Amino acid sequence: MTANTNTATSSSDTPNEITLLQPDDWHIHLRDGEALATTVAHAANSFNRVICMPNLVPPVKTASDAIAYRQRILDALTQADITKQRKDEFNPRMTLYFTDNTSATDIKNAAESGIVQAVKLYPAGATTNSADGVTDLKHCTQALEAMQKYGLPLLVHSEVTHAHVDIFDREKQFVDSTLGQIVRDYPELKIVVEHITTSDAADFVLAQGDNVAATITPQHLLFNRNHMLVGGIKPHFYCLPILKKATHQARLLEVATSGNRKFFLGTDSAPHATHKKENACGCAGCYSANIALPLYATAFDSVGKIDRLEGFASIFGAEFYGLPLNTSHITLHKQPMTIASSYPYMDGSTLTPLSAGETLPWSIKA
């Protein structure tokens, strides 16, 4: 990162402007069909590589599904109202959706496709569109062995799904009951613990070798469950894994800003139409694609660590996936920006972003 020394600094000596290697988003939901008209332009404005989650209906289960889905994303990109440079640099990387029937051949084909970056494990029933997910890891042995063999990473939604387990304990229980076992059984497998929300998950990742890393979302760095529940239920803060206590938020902020290469950017930007969030049974997901960088900058600056943003946003994820670093740059500056109250979305609906209508201290410099 280049801290611009020509720019006046605040009393705390925080630079008012930073230039980063163009970031990548290692966990995003773009959806499909008409949704792509909104989500692709927003993602491409900020990110070069994005890892696209496969929880479509029906899910992306094979390399040929992934190739077709990627083409639909690229078709939407050609229509997007963004600069030619952003279009040229945007590079969607695909994932397969792990099911009980994912075979070693599916993994081999994915590894050889050149566009499948990883395989996403949703415990069946854990979250949005996870009904076709894995019911028991005993069904996954051959696929996991093949992933280890071909170097295809496993991305994990780390929550148990048992009805009797409290929603705030589901991540910790999965870490304790399952993650350690996967690491022991497949010691060479690359694993990303996605969107970690607890100090337990952070500590687990820290205790493993270089083959185990984690993504962290902007909402889990900036907010805790009080933001969602005190003074009225605020559905746009509802995502899974759910926001936790402030002590967990503080630990996530600590590890994200520590410079440790195991922790990198994954927004988990997850669009749901406003009326499906503001609902008696609201959907899980925070939409942040186009405001993620100002959100992360605000979080890092809140603890005086804006100088650590570039590693987290632009370097450590690429290193983990064995990809080259980007060569272009983006500049953020301490100019307030007010987040839109909503965006047009699909057939006449709207999409309400995280922190809609709020003003952030950081913005992307045009």
Instruction: Choose the one of Zn ion, ligand DOR, none that binds residue 55, judging by a C-beta under 5 to 8 angstroms depending on kind.
Output: ligand DOR
Question: Residue 191 CB, nearest distance to ligand DOR (Å)?
Answer: 17
**Smallest gap from residue 223 Cβ to ligand DOR (A):** 13
Least distance from ligand DOR to the Cβ atom of residue 331, Å: 30
Between 26 and 362, whose beta carbon lies closer to ligand DOR?
A: 26
| 142 burial via Cβ count (<10 Å: 0-12, 13-18, 19+) | middle
Q: Report yes or no: 88 and 35 within 8 Å, Cβ to Cβ.
A: no
Strand partners, 360: 337
Question: CB of residue 130 vs ligand DOR: minimum separation in angstroms?
Answer: 7
Pick what 22 binds: Zn ion, ligand DOR, none; C-beta below 5 to 8 Å, kind-dependent: none
Of positions 17, 268, 301, 310, contacts Zn ion by CB under 5 A: 268
Tokens 């994005």: give the residue: 50
Residue 25 interacting with Zn ion (CB under 5 A): no
Residue 59 interacting with ligand DOR (CB under 6 A): no
Is residue 55 involved in binding ligand DOR (CB under 6 A)?
yes
Interface map 151-190 toward ligand DOR (x if CB under 6 A): ------x---------------------------------
- Partner in contact with 284, chosen from Zn ion, ligand DOR, none, beta carbon below 5 to 8 Å by kind: ligand DOR
Q: Give whichever of 102 and 288 is closer to ligand DOR, judged by the CB atom.
A: 288
Q: Is 128 in the site for ligand DOR (CB under 6 A)?
A: yes
**In the window 240-299, what residues touch ligand DOR (CB under 6 A)?**
240, 270, 284-285
Please state, in angstroms and rounded to a whole number, the distance separating the CA atoms of residues 29 and 35: 10
Min separation Cβ 178 and ligand DOR, Å: 16
What amino acid positions are annotated as catalytic residues?
A: 268
Residue 364 binding target from ligand DOR, Zn ion, none, CB below 5 to 8 Å by type:
none
Question: What is the binding site for ligand DOR (CB under 6 A)?
Answer: 29, 55, 127-128, 157, 239-240, 270, 284-285
